[in-house]
Amino acid sequence: MRTDLAVIGAGPAGLAAALAADRRGLRVALVDAAPQPGGQFYRQPAAGLRAERPRALHHRWRTWAGLRDRLATSSVRVLTEHHVWCVERTPDGPAVHALLGPEQEKPAEVRATAVLLATGGYETVLPFPGWTLPGVVTAGGAQAMLKGGLVVPGRTAVVAGTGPLLLPVATGLAAAGVRVAALVES
């Protein structure tokens, strides 16, 4: 596939960038490993779970709904379940190499005039005594369990670490019925 712009990452930043480029008349491909757009922040529950109130899992739902609705009416080509493993410079411009689907068995390539990386944040976990014990998960892991699988890591949680993810995770867990015993920002 050929396009003007390949945006890698379908979280809030990638969605906003893809929509802005689309409004300016560029042909845009939005490439993401997840089964649907949203990224980590707006991760959606698996369709088979039939979540009755997915908005309860998210902060700034109206922002997400606006992005989602604009994407649906745009001409952005959304390529989900594309696990990008390499971006290569070629004489014809960048080539984005990905593997398709959950099993990542079939290759795919997107050729673009330009590539925008919007891969979002990620956790850097510092080991601490007890970090490998059962029931100990990262803040991002707890958020992924809640938003993607509609499960919580336990009835009581201590949310600890550093960064902007802690508060949304703590409030999400509390809204799901988890007793947040402490929120500890280093």
Predicted confidence at residue 165, as pLDDT, reads 83
Q: Rounded to whole angstroms, how far apart are CA atoms 65 and 6?
A: 23
Q: Rounded to whole angstroms, how far apart are CA atoms 79 and 110?
A: 10
Residues 110-136: tens digit of each pLDDT: 999 999 999 987 777 888 899 899 889
Q: Positive or negative CA dihedral for 51, 57, 62, 63?
A: negative
Predicted confidence at residue 128, as pLDDT, reads 85
Task: Read off the pTM.
Answer: 0.81
Mean pLDDT for 73-79 is: 97
pLDDT band (50, 70, 90) for residue 11: very high
Domains, the chain: 2-117 (3.50.50.60), 139-180 (no CATH)
Residues 133-155: tens digit of each pLDDT: 988 998 888 988 888 888 898 99
Q: Rounded to whole angstroms, how far apart are CA atoms 155 and 177?
A: 8
CA 130 to chain centre: 28
- Whether the per-residue pLDDT at 157 is higher than 90: the answer is yes
Q: Helix or strand or coil: residue 131? A: coil
pLDDT band (50, 70, 90) for residue 52: confident
Residues in the chain, overall count: 186
Q: Rounded to whole angstroms, how far apart are CA atoms 114 and 131?
A: 41
Q: Are 34 and 81 in contact (CB under 8 A)?
A: yes
Q: Rounded to whole angstroms, how far apart are CA atoms 10 and 129?
A: 35
